[in-house]
Amino acid sequence: MSLQACFSRTPFMSDKNNKTIDDFPLLKEMTPPMRREEARVEADRCLNCYDSPCTIACPTHINIPKFIKQIGSKDNLGSAITIFDANAMGHSCARVCPVEALCEGSCVYLGWHEKPIEIGRLQRFATDALMEKGIQPFEAGEPNGKTVGIVGGGPAGLSAAAYLRRLGFAVTVFEKKPMPGGLNTYGMAEYKMDQRVALDEVALVLDLGVDIRYETVLGDDLKFEDLEKKFDAIFLGVGLGATAPLAIPGEGLKGVYEALHFIEYIKNHEFDAIPAGETTVCIGAGNTAIDVVTQAKRIGTPKVVMSYRRGRADMSAYDYEYELAAGDEITFEWQTMPIAILGDDKVTGIRLQRTELKDGKVLPIEGSEFEIPCDRIVKAIGQTKQVDLLSKTAGITLDKKGRIVVDATTLQTSNPMVFAGGDAVNGGAEIVNAAAHGKRAALGIFNTLFPGNPPGPEHSDWIQTIEGVRTVRPPNHHHAKTLETANV
């Protein structure tokens, strides 16, 4: 069914209460799973490159040709183990990773203008099979006597928890939300990944014996000093803070949402709390803004507008995300900025002003103001850094942009017993980056607490995926030759 046909045929406008996900077919996972023969054909198409560009491009350096060949030889369990060994968030990454920009975007087939291997869907084929069988492929390590407190149960914290448990640490996670998973659970567009998928993956991590405390907020319910006393090491995976304010009149009106709050209603399937309305205006043009406008459209809002200060070429969303929004018939108002939100107690419209670029700076054009009547405004102009929380509460050093300063190898912060990863360190990136941080920090914590006593050989596979370099490598027999005589 075409998207348009869906829009016109779905009873979006019904007055029915207690709507469920079944009332919104367009919110269901958009990319279909692979059938077995699709997976076989696709797996056989993979060339099995050595030092493969896809593995290099993946921040968690999953051995991609290996897991694909394992699918090809019908060792689906082995394939899933290869994936989860390198990436504890491999189940969600299979769905939400920007593969076009990472693994698939580096596939050698692109050099022939051929379709790259569908790595994301093959990965999903393998992890879905493991989830369906309900097998825990890993086990917690022998207790090593040390404890780690993790603040934040999102992708970075849970990834760290998985590897720390395998290394034998006792691990406690403090999560401020009522459910675990962070943005995996609350922030991914529902049509990319069902909340259930995120929670299944979390369950696999928690199954390793992780103690998790919900609705516990650092600074409020939890004193940093207490954490320092109680644990041998601390991992901060606290993510980012609230959406940045627009700082214009009317921001407090009913009907003005932060992007992540709006998405959370959808993730929680609380559809009655966000009726479709008539017109939604989203401010911002990043990947989160795309998630907002596409989902607004998919819950039945007839007109959805995206307003951005700059032009199409400057938007930070990936190209395919833009195409997704364009396909959902979003109205783009390029080079416009909000100057006031209109309404008495409830939003009735927004006043925008056109902009122009001069020497790279965005300047408003005098007299170009115009209004769009609307009943919902969603702010998606990026999240703030949790500067106060991190510098005052935890007393660790931040850079000028408010990001936690860490050692690149161990992810240790200015406080030797505190490690950090994820959005709070990189300023906001993908799930896969957070997962890679969690893995790296787990080894960093181990090596710091047990100096000179590296983890046992059973850990060598996942450890070599941190830097992504095979430990057994072919020799250079030509080492006696110079670059010139070796014709390099």
Partner 1 sequence: MRKHLKPRTFKKLKGKVDLSSNTAGIKSPNPFWLASAPPANSGEQVMRAFDHGWGGAVWKTLGEDPAVVNVTSRYGAIDIGGMKMAGFNNVELITDRPLDVNLKEIAEVKKKYPKHAVIVSLMVPCERKNWHDIVKKAEDTGCDGLELNFGCPHGMSERGMGAAVGQVPEYIQKVVEYVKEVAKTPVLTKLTPNIADVRFPARAAMAGKTDGVSLINTINSVMGIDLDTLKPKFAIGGKGAHGGYCGPAVKPIALNMVSQIANDPETKNLPISGIGGVSDWRDATEFLLLGSSSVQVCTAVMHYGFRIVEDMISGLENWMREHEFETLDDFIGKSAGDIVEWKHLNLHHKTVAKIDSSTCIECDLCFIACNDTAHQCIVRPSDYGKTGKGWKIPTVIEEDCVGCNLCSLVCPVEECITMEDVETGHAPLTWEQYTAAGMTGYKEVYKRFHD
Q: How far is the CB of 215 from partner 1 (least distance, A)?
A: 9
The residues binding partner 1 (CB under 8 A) are: 35-37, 40, 44-45, 48, 50, 66, 69-70, 72-75, 77-78, 81-82, 133-137, 139, 178-180, 195, 199-200, 202-204, 206-207, 268-270, 470, 472, 474-475
Q: Would you mind telling me the total number of residues written for the chain in this entry?
A: 488
Coil, strand or helix at 357: strand
Q: Helix 64-72 vs helix 119-133: angle between axes, to the nearest 10 degrees?
A: 60
Nearer to partner 1, 12 or 24 (CB): 24
CB of 328 to partner 1, least distance (A): 26
CA atoms of 336 and 418, how far apart (whole Å):
43
Q: How far apart are CA 103 and CA 84, in angstroms?
A: 16
Q: How do beta strands 347-358 and 361-364 pair?
A: antiparallel
Residue 195 vs 294, nearer CB to partner 1 = 195
Q: CA 352, CA 372: separation in Å to the nearest integer?
A: 8
Q: CB-wise, 66 or 310, nearer to partner 1?
A: 66
Q: What pairs with residue 171 in β-bridges?
A: 148
Nearest distance in Å: CB 56, partner 1: 16
Q: What is the DSSP letter of 243?
A: B
Is residue 407 within 8 Å of residue 426, measured between CB atoms? Answer: no
- Provide the minimum distance between the beta carbon of 362 and partner 1 in the complex, in angstroms, as a whole number: 38
Burial code of 103-135, b = ≥16 C-beta within 10 A, e = fewer? bbbbbeeeeeeeebbbbbbbbbbbbbbbbeeee
Residue 192: which residues within 8 A CB-CB, separation 6 or more?
29, 30, 31, 95, 96
Closest distance to partner 1 from the beta carbon of 408 (Å): 28
Q: 86 or 227: whose CB is closer to partner 1?
A: 86
DSSP 312-335: GGG--S-HHHHHHHHHTTPEEETT
Q: Which is nearer to partner 1, 269 or 351 (CB)?
A: 269
Is the CB of 269 or the CB of 310 nearer to partner 1? Answer: 269
Nearer to partner 1, 448 or 464 (CB): 464
CB 124 within 8 A of CB 130: no
Cβ nearer to partner 1, comparing 41 with 405: 41
Task: Identify the DSSP state of 412.
Answer: B
Sign of CA dihedral 421, 424, 426, 429: positive
Backbone angles phi, psi at 417, to 5 degrees: -95, 0
Closest contact distance (angstroms) between CB of 116 and partner 1 is: 15
C-beta of 17: minimal distance to partner 1 in Å?
17
- Nearest approach in angstroms of CB 404 to partner 1 is 28
DSSP 355: E
